[in-house]
Structure 1
């Protein structure tokens, strides 16, 4: 897999799966646009990426629920590199809540996990059509089944919607030679759990439980998911579009 002269935009690139994907793309000579809210962390990731093959990424600090910030991502990528070949919609938030908690939590989850990637895809599409590029959305196994031990209704709903966006856009853009696929991780060892409101202690207990209950006896690591993202973005996956790839250590089987 080689991404020489390919421009890859990655949201949520400051940590976890996004940071791991950035490093892997950098090792394959990609030119990177790294997007996130934590500028310091983005700079750290960018430095590691530049050290790989000498390509200096650009970083874009953005709040994805602000339309102007999303528009700025595409504008900066095209202004700096002149093209976009791959869009990785990795950024997302874990929103806990039940149907009894009202609609505000639903709105929050949908704004970041659905509306933001929808808008970014819309803005990037003309450039992806020119480059015959592709999109990889990062969803979740929560799109297929409720998370039983925690109220995660807003999050599950948003990821199901994102999967449908993947399929619909794949059909629409196929005639233009643009592929669209999704990677749906199960339990993965990332900062996601803490960002969803769990304490460090609760996170560790949850990880221990997942390591025991998942059929393969382990959680996924960020690099595992990133490897699948890079594969789907590469020419090796040139015949794959509209597909939902689960990487969950058998979680959906349990």
Structure 2
């Protein structure tokens, strides 16, 4: 069975990806900050995904912690003996205009969305090289497209996009493929945890019907399917790509 590390697996896209990978018989190393939520998705991977309890490892850890990369990699290798794919799904959103968002907000976003991703990827790569595996980064349509009020967040996702493409060039001689998905608005808790109340979030989802060409926000399972494609041999001739899973958000322009 192939082995996948999935960060941010306790919620949102990471959670949906974990369940889909279980259904495709991956052994899973799931990381996140919420122990109870990790236990819940691990149990779901067994009950609905059809894998055994021995096929799931959870590591509750703050990804930005100094010891996080070594702890995650060492635990995974000790449990499964190999790593075939890394899914960098962990991330946070902070909103607010630049003049109202201090440098500490910028630092937090860069630390979680970029620095932590790079550190873990560097720690995993030697194992990915040995299996000629894959890396899939969860970016955002905010990477290629600018949006006012989330400037710092957009900057982090642009950084992830460049990291994806440059690393793909570096890793190609090793037979390792590196790609990213760029979701549009997906129904998760990320906007709530960024500070939106229920009324604001409901209005945001309603507006998404007009900002996405397909007339709706997306689901975590739709993004997970794209991640599975990029992680698997079905995309064996694809690397350095930013796959938009955005319902047409990136091609919409105000008139």
Normalising to structure 1: TM-score of the pair? 0.95
Alignment of 1:1-254 (within 5 A): 5-51=1-47, 52-56=49-53, 57-100=56-99, 101-148=101-148, 151-254=149-252
Question: Would the alpha carbon gap of residues 221 and 237 (structure 1) be closer, same or farther in structure 2, given more than 3 Å must change?
Answer: same
Verify the 8 A CA contact 2:23 2:51 in the aligned structure 1. Answer: no
Q: Deviations over 1:124-143 (max 9, x none)?
A: 01000111110000000101
Q: Deviations over 1:101-148 (max 9, x none)?
A: 332111110000000110011000100011111000000010112224
| Secondary structure of the structure 1 residue equivalent to 2:59 | strand
Distance in 1 (alpha carbons) for counterparts of 2:214 and 2:165: 29
| Secondary structure of the structure 1 residue equivalent to 2:216 | coil
Distance in 1 (alpha carbons) for counterparts of 2:104 and 2:73: 29
Superposition deviation, residue 39 in structure 1: 0.7
Distance in 2 (alpha carbons) for counterparts of 1:32 and 1:197: 31
Verify the 8 A CA contact 1:13 1:36 in the aligned structure 2. Answer: yes
Superposition deviation, residue 49 in structure 1: 0.6
Distance in 2 (alpha carbons) for counterparts of 1:82 and 1:165: 27
Superposition deviation, residue 241 in structure 1: 0.5
| Secondary structure of the structure 1 residue equivalent to 2:181 | strand
Distance in 2 (alpha carbons) for counterparts of 1:98 and 1:209: 20
Superposition deviation, residue 8 in structure 1: 0.4
Verify the 8 A CA contact 2:5 2:30 in the aligned structure 1. Answer: yes
Distance in 2 (alpha carbons) for counterparts of 1:114 and 1:143: 12
Matched length? 248
Superposition deviation, residue 179 in structure 1: 0.4
Distance in 2 (alpha carbons) for counterparts of 1:98 and 1:206: 17
Distance in 2 (alpha carbons) for counterparts of 1:216 and 1:227: 18
Aligned CA RMSD, in angstroms, stands at: 1.0
Superposition deviation, residue 153 in structure 1: 1.1
Q: Tell me, which stretches of 5 or more residues in structure 2 are unaligned?
A: none
Runs of 4+ in 1 over 3 A off after TM superposition: none
Normalising to structure 2: TM-score of the pair? 0.95
Distance in 1 (alpha carbons) for counterparts of 2:52 and 2:94: 36
